[in-house]
Structure 1
Amino acid sequence: MTQEGPYAEVGRRIQGLRGKLTQAEFAARLGVDRKSVTGWETGKRLPDGSSLLVMRRDMGADLNYILGGGEGEFRVLSSEERTMVDFYRDASPAVRKAALGALLSAGHAAPGVVIHGKVGQSIAGNAEQSNFTIDMGKQRKPGGE
């Protein structure tokens, strides 16, 4: 029978974050030894700050959930989601507002919402106002027209 340590709940949440990765694979992603992961998951030790930061930065872990539990849950971001977050963070406030409006409108199937062309070309539709259009830089026609 395995005896649980004082941090067993934290260990279970870390194990959930690890998902299908082996302890060795998870440890390699964090830059630690596999024995460290075993210690965390058995509740005998807590991860150090640098390991927690990697969990947050590279795996999208909610550290409040990992360390404190509660109602929240962690979600690992896909590479596509990570790219979207990076672009969003680098965008101007106007572009952030437009992108959020487009996602909210499209997600709720608002009437009149149209997203067409390549990403970044044109978004048109209803974003809680009439005749809402965002033009985010259409491709220019050959010949500089």
Structure 2
Amino acid sequence: MIQKKILSLDTIGGRIAFIRGEMRQEDFAVLLGVSRMTLIRYEKGERQPDADFLKTIVAEFGVDGSWLLLGDGDLPSIKLTPREAALLDNYRHCPDDAQRNLETMGALLAQSSAGKKKVG
């Protein structure tokens, strides 16, 4: 089973990884004119991207530069699977206390999944 990494949008590296989405790091790096290792370091927060790299992301993906750089503004739209859309719709129709419970449960499930080792 492939496990998706939980992204933190609190960092520029997390926002870059969010924009990359399911695209392979190699393909994303080539598109943006950097090496895969450079991209990995950006996403991990080991290096800060330069202005040219950020301008290229803004131009190629149409994201708000302020969001990319600072996390301010609206999250770029992403295409949800039907299951994800249904889950979000259910969440939005819950009262506040139920939403908080769902958030807590989701975080616990994600931590539990991240802690399991792949058997194979």
| TM-score, structure 2 as length reference | 0.53
Of 46, 57, 60, which aligns to 2:59? 57
Question: How far off is 1:75 after superposition?
Answer: 4.1
* Equivalent position SS for 1:74: coil
Higher relative contact order (CA 8 A, sep 6+): 2
Detail structure 1 runs of 4+ shifted over 3 Å in the superposition.
none
Q: Determine the structure 1 residue equivalent to 2:49.
A: 47
Residue of 14, 26, 38 corresponding to 2:16: 14
For residue 14 of structure 1, give the secondary structure of its aligned residue in structure 2. helix
Superposed displacement of residue 17, structure 1: 0.3
Aligned CA-pair RMSD: 1.7
Structure 2 unaligned runs (5+)?
1-9, 79-120
Deviations 1:9-44 (A, max 9, x none): 111111000011111111010011001110111011
In 2, Cα distance between the equivalents of 1:58 and 1:20? Answer: 16
Aligned to 1:33: 35
- The answer to whether the aligner puts 1:72 opposite 2:74 as a matched pair is yes
Q: Please list, as runs of the form range in 1=range in 2, the aligned pairs for 1:118-129 lying within 5 A after superposition.
A: none
Normalised by the size of structure 1, how large is the TM-score?
0.44
What secondary structure is seen at the aligned counterpart in 1 of 2:13?
helix
Larger proportion of helix: 2
Q: Which structure 1 segments of 5+ residues have no match?
A: 1-7, 77-145
Q: Distance in 2 between matches of 1:18 and 1:64?
A: 17
**Which one has a bigger Cα radius of gyration?**
1
